[in-house]
Amino acid sequence: MGKGSDGSGGGNNTESGDTVPPKAFLTADKYKAIVGDPITFDGNRSYDPGKESNITRGIMLYQWNFGYTDDDGTPIVESTVNGTTIHSFPDRGDFTVTLTVFDDAENEDSAQVTVIIVPPNEPISTGSSILIGDPVGPGIFGNSTEVTWNLTEGATYMWLNISVTGAYVREGQSTTVEIVLENPYLDVIKNQTVKVLGTEAVPWTFQPEEISVEGRYTLTIHAVDGAAIVSVMGEATYL
């Protein structure tokens, strides 16, 4: 199997005499969404060389693999004759969506995008927690992640514990990460900068004596280094 223009695999069909694979291109209208929100995936830039002027641009079938399985382990896959599809994801996580396009000789090529699915602004109250875990990447992901939740009743104590993982493999290289916790009424509650050496995971714990204001809280983690990729895991617990 050959390689497509984006480095993905391209098939060929020697029986028909057409051995030139099509070119697959894939974009999404958003790369970060809330669980259940629809995302439009667009493969209309895909084409079969020499047939770009055709209505179909030489693409006879679009096959979409959404990067997860059902409860029986069957991959969630859809086939369309159109170059767009709309899909919503039932769970949080990172999902690599693969588009495979086929021409009339059954040659194929694939392209991929990754989308990040996060939980909605979850209402939490005394004695409950919200999980924090949103991988961050450069470019369109902005090198930052934000988790927002609503405190629905007063709490006397909040325990925030996250683990920040850096991007650099080489010894001595560090990722600078800014961590901000804020509330519209309390303004910035905590602002701290940490340095993560290599890919070492650094824990960060915040234990305010009193968080009694109901409303929206926002935790923002931002990689100051432009080329850094940071992974954040943890939880906020109200007691």
Which tens digits make up the pLDDT trace of 45-68? 999 987 767 777 889 999 999 999
Confidence of residue 178 (pLDDT cuts 50, 70, 90): confident
Domains present along the chain, CATH in parentheses: 2-117 (2.60.40.10), 121-238 (2.60.120.20)
Whether the per-residue pLDDT at 229 is higher than 70: the answer is no
Instruction: Name residues whose C-beta falls within 8 Å of residue 55's C-beta, 6 or more positions apart in sequence.
Output: none
Give the Cα separation of 98 and 114 in Å (integer).
9
- What are φ and ψ of residue 140, in 5° steps? -65, -20
pLDDT at residue 236 above 90? no
Name which residue leads in pLDDT, 100 or 136. 100
Residue 107's pLDDT is 93
Beta-bridged to residue 43, according to DSSP, are: none
- The pLDDT of residue 35 is 86
φ/ψ of 60, rounded to 5, equals -95, -25
Minimum mean pLDDT range among 7-16, 25-34, 146-155, 189-198: 7-16
pLDDT-derived band at 231, boundaries 50, 70, 90: low
Question: Can you tell me the mean pLDDT for 113-142?
Answer: 53
91 and 35 Cβ atoms separated by less than 8 Å: yes
pLDDT of residue 99 exceeding 90: yes
What is the predicted pLDDT for the residue at 49? 87
Q: How far apart are CA 62 and CA 46, in angstroms?
A: 10
Is the whole-model pTM more than 0.85? no
The whole-number pLDDT of residue 139 equals 29
Q: From residue 197, how far is each of 31, 169, 187, 190, 204 by CA, in Å?
A: 28, 9, 30, 22, 14
Neighbouring-strand partners of residue 236: 130, 160
Spatial contact of 108 and 98, defined as CB atoms under 8 Å apart: no
Structure tokens at 85: 């599809």
Query: pLDDT > 70: what percent of the chain?
Result: 58
Identify the top-confidence range among 30-34, 80-84, 191-195, 220-224: 80-84
CA dihedral 202, 207, 151, 203 (to 10 degrees): 10
Query: Which of 92-101, 154-163, 173-182, 205-214 has the highest average model confidence (pLDDT)?
Result: 92-101
Answer whether 136's CB lies under 8 Å from 223's CB. yes
Q: Which two tokens stand for residue 115?
A: 């989308």
Q: What is the pLDDT of residues 101-120, one digit of tens each?
A: 999 889 999 999 988 887 76
